[in-house]
Chain A
């Protein structure tokens, strides 16, 4: 049993990761963290660096999980990357973070979340940052 989570160092990404840890602990599942960049910009803060990688490892270890971090610096589109990993692992759940996007922004840039929702073969749990009513 595997749970896949899309992770970025952002409030949305942290929220998704926290939720995924809870889900993984509840289901006694293996957690695969996917962090990728297309590598087509010179500077990309969405890709975690070595320090953040270690912090992430510590966080997951202290949560007592069986985990794997998949980090690709020159990967494909984020949606493709998450779906590929989820399919290869036969994931039972995908956890993603959502952020607010305007209609125009979605039209121009496309929506990673929407593609994952539509193309995933397993349930998708989407989390917003600051989960409060």
Chain B
């Protein structure tokens, strides 16, 4: 009951004209960046961080939430129309969605994706309201060792379980943790990794790091691969669905939500696994299995719902534990820290107005997105005709302006360029971006908990597993790390892994042969590593 009252207060605050306006700006921006491959919600939020200095915290957070959800909607549009998934979570949507579009059913694919996203987003947000207070109650009882264990779990799963290559994941994580270490030691006051360079003593500003890795790195990458054979627009009318489409869509929506939310809510995150599981399940349960691979509507409805439900789920650990598990949540959390708000289980107690206004705005944003996306989908697709030099010139301008405005010092611009080159190198060598960003943001938090545990145990290393929760989590980590190997061995023993085990072993990312089987063209964003290997082979 108390929760409901708080939620109503949240609605009252989110429905003020000014906040409603920010929600609208957020969803429009979010859809736009979601539609454009390579520019994701994380980059948009990072670029907007400096703009929010003069804004109220709740208004900016509402706008960011709009961008976050909007990115999910926009991503599906590009996947369906162009077969170029902007994010790894929409790779699965592209398989069936693009086939549907080619068969002249683009309108139905867009409609089932949009309505499915709305259904899943709304249910997911409702689940967030129900689950988050329990998580908070549980989290307040946890000590530093357990916190540290949870953070390790988040870092390990994002790095090793998701994504295609463990080595590349850990390399990116290491880089991120190293960047997070730069600056003054919080306990002893020693300067670390500053190389006698004065501006580094305060640490690297998260705005500079995020903008450099997301915006500059991507711009350099695009500049190096600017020209490609342009695609033709697939004509779309206004998205709509017939009676048959509704009948075939509503069950996959609900099942997708059921897959998506728990995966998002775990401090492991990732939308790849649930979208893949949903796809496989729909394929098994469908009455029209022969249509899969040729544009089955269930194959769009399920994964798209799973994707959005997991996006809602991701906000549970972010708000209740202060632990982000995807890039956008990480940048949003950095924003809270910047505003002097301590993220963590006490957030609900200390800033109830802010949290509940944010949650209420998620419901509002979701509705706005459905209203914006259903009639305007053909308009959004027009964004893809913008010549990319214009687009990236704008992004570089805002990136530089943003990085400079943080501290008004030229040193930040050099840092921006340097980290931008690092971002380019990451893309060039197929290193995932997410572990790096999470390393930068979770790293210092984890260090704090680690130091605290050691202070409590007087330097004894056994202090790390002094709590039962911590022990349980370490066991889970061990199991998670072992599962793929075990599954692979079982698969080999059986002589060829089944689709499901193969998919799980690959961490939900579809494997190369899967890609060939479905004739999915290698998208620019999500599977760059594979692209690069191809390039390397061509050269040699």
Contact = CB atoms under 8 A, between A and B. Distances in A.
A42 B388 CA distance: 8
A39 B227 contact: yes
Interface stretch (B103-111, B229-237, B250-258, B342-350): B229-237
A82 interface: no
Secondary structure class of chain A's binding surface, majority of residues: loop
- For the side of the interface on B, what is the size category? 10 to 19
Interface string A30-64: 00000001111111110101000000000000000
Contacts of B388: 40-42
Contacts of B229: 39, 73-74
Quick one: which of A42, A44, A47 has the most chain B CB within 10 A? A42
- For the side of the interface on A, what is the size category? 10 to 19
B384 A40 contact: no
Contacts of A43: 82, 230-233, 381, 384-385
Contacts of A37: 230
Contact of A44 (B37, B230, B389): B230
A41 B232 contact: no
B60 interface: no
A45 B226 contact: no
A85 to B, nearest CB: 19
Nearest to A52: B232
A44 B229 CA distance: 9
B536 interface: no
B17 interface: no
B461 interface: no
B458 interface: no
B390 to A, nearest CB: 9
B32 to A, nearest CB: 14
B84 interface: yes
Interface in A3-42: 37-42
Quick one: which of B36, B226, B231 has the most chain A CB within 10 A? B231
A42 B389 contact: no
Contacts of A73: 229-230
B75 to A, nearest CB: 14
B230 A39 contact: yes
Contacts of B381: 43
Quick one: which of A40, A47, A74 has the most chain B CB within 10 A? A40
Nearest to A37: B230
A112 to B, nearest CB: 14
Interface string B462-490: 00000000000000000000000000000
A43 B384 CA distance: 6
A42 B222 CA distance: 12
A47 B230 CA distance: 8
B147 to A, nearest CB: 43
B378 to A, nearest CB: 12
A78 to B, nearest CB: 13
Nearest to A74: B227
A42 B77 CA distance: 14
A49 B102 CA distance: 15
A37 B233 CA distance: 14
Interface in B356-395: 381, 384-389
B287 interface: no
Contacts of B385: 41-45
B84 A42 contact: yes
Contacts of A45: 232-233, 385
B227 A41 contact: no
B537 interface: no
A3 B231 CA distance: 29
A16 B367 CA distance: 48
Interface in B196-250: 226-233
Nearest to B524: A42
Nearest to B234: A43
Contacts of A42: 36-37, 82, 84, 228, 230-231, 384-385, 388
Contacts of B384: 41-43
Contacts of B227: 38-40, 74
B314 to A, nearest CB: 28
Nearest to B392: A40
Interface in B71-117: 82, 84
A49 B84 contact: no
Contacts of B231: 42-44
Contacts of B230: 37, 39, 41-44, 47, 73
A44 B386 CA distance: 9
Contacts of A74: 227-229
A47 B386 CA distance: 15
A40 B226 contact: yes
A133 B385 CA distance: 34
Nearest to A46: B230
A44 B230 CA distance: 6
A74 B228 CA distance: 6
Contacts of B226: 39-40
Nearest to A49: B232
A79 B483 CA distance: 59
Contacts of B228: 39, 42, 74
Interface of B: 36-37, 82, 84, 226-233, 381, 384-389
Given A37-B230, A43-B231, 5 more contacts: A40-B387, A42-B228, A43-B381, A44-B385, A45-B385
14 contacts: A37-B230, A38-B387, A40-B226, A40-B389, A41-B388, A42-B82, A42-B228, A42-B230, A43-B231, A43-B232, A43-B384, A44-B232, A74-B228, A74-B229
List 8 A-B pairs, minimum CB-CB distance, nearest first: A44-B230, A73-B229, A39-B227, A43-B384, A74-B227, A42-B384, A41-B387, A40-B387
